[in-house]
Amino acid sequence: MSKFLNSFCLCSALLAAGFVNHAEAADHKQHKAKAKTAATTRDKAPQAFGERPELMRFGAELATEQGWDVVQLQAQLAQAKSHPAVQRLIMPGPPGSAKDWAAYRARFVEPRRLQAGLQFWDQNEAALARAETRFGVPAELIVGLIGVESYYGRITGGFRIIDALATLAFDFPSGRSDRSAFFRAELVEFLKLSHREGLDPLSVKGSYAGAMGWPQFMPSSWNRDAIDFDGDGHVDLINSPADAIGSIANYLVQHGWKAGMPTHYSVALPVETSARARLLAPDILPSFSAAQLLEAGARPSDAALEHAGPMAVIELQNGSAAPIYWLGSENFYALTRYNWSSYYAMAVIDMGHTLATLRRATSKD
């Protein structure tokens, strides 16, 4: 089939599925650009840390522990910059903000990102099939996750990692629970990664929180779970889609993924408020057997009744509309280890399922 026909079939399928049109997508992009400009103008310019005592002590201790050149590491750390934008972005959203699953989903399951996902799948079909066979993680979920995380490598972050992590490690903002110890540990992992892989720590870029590459791994996840899946002797999540594919599959397995298990099931919750509240209390943690759900007044689907393990009752709020409820399996929970959000996990699932459906449709045409 020609590229023109492939594009035509995809657009037809997207319109039939009721996705946003290109004009709506353009308006959304313009709104985001204006918001980004406004945010940039109210952030102060980043300031170099220089030879701040606590940062220099950190460098000296790490270099001594690892057998590195102390002077060189301290010189690199002195060039890190404290970013007000990073401090702002790490803050939680305003209290009382209404959650809207439909709006959240629409950020990812939209025509251009879907088109990019189909192209990514075609270009990396062999690596995806190999990962599915080896790890038991469906190709559609891996493709969906990369689409949500980085728009297939198009959006990987513009902050120097050393700046982002040093800011959050040594200038963590007040107004929320202090996580500076976590980011100090991630800075250690990043410097170890840079040393092992021969990366210039002053050049690597990523998100405001320090996530990197196609799969947006934090440095500790890269060091612990990333694998060389293209066989070149290096683990490269920034330039190698194959390494990203294999590493995501390995990450999910290391966090409890079970081959062949569905991610979620449908359910009807009891009308009684207190019973519903008890079922929702554990949030994304699988806590109830099928029998316990029945005892609480819930009505799981037939497939859920056959599920042997525990399940979580997932609520996706829809603004002023009625919420949507699902039962999340251990595999759903494994997806939330990537990002601790039921909305995130469901967006990955929906993205992957939509791509698989479109791919089948275009292949028939």
- Tell me the pLDDT of the chain (365 aa) as tens digits: 333 333 333 333 333 333 333 333 333 333 444 344 344 446 789 999 999 999 999 999 999 999 999 999 999 999 999 999 999 999 987 766 678 999 999 999 999 999 999 999 999 999 999 999 999 999 999 999 999 999 999 999 999 999 999 999 999 999 889 999 999 999 999 999 999 999 999 999 999 999 999 999 999 999 999 999 999 999 999 999 999 999 999 999 999 999 999 999 999 999 999 999 999 999 999 999 999 999 999 999 999 999 999 999 999 999 889 999 999 999 999 999 999 999 999 999 999 999 999 999 987 76
Cα(277)–Cα(294) distance, integer angstroms: 15
Report residue 50 as tokens: 């220089």
Residue located via tokens 């440095």: 219
What contacts 289, CB < 8 A, 6 or more positions away?
A: 309, 310, 311
Contact 169, 183 (CB under 8 A): yes
Angle between helices 139-150 and 125-135 (to 10 degrees): 120
How many other β-carbons are positioned within 10 Å of the β-carbon of residue 324? 14
Contact 242, 124 (CB under 8 A): yes
Catalytic residue positions?
149
Residue located via tokens 């995130």: 344
Q: At residue 147, what is the residue type?
A: G
Cα(323)–Cα(219) distance, integer angstroms: 36
Q: At residue 210, what is the residue type?
A: G
Cα(208)–Cα(86) distance, integer angstroms: 5
Longest CA pairwise span in the chain (Å): 66
Give exposure, 307-322, as e/b (b: 16+ Cβ within 10 Å).
beebbbbbbbbbeeee
What is the structure's pLDDT at 25? 35
Q: At residue 61, what is the residue type?
A: E
Contact 87, 173 (CB under 8 A): yes
What is the structure's pLDDT at 189? 98
Cα(63)–Cα(60) distance, integer angstroms: 5
Contact 233, 295 (CB under 8 A): no
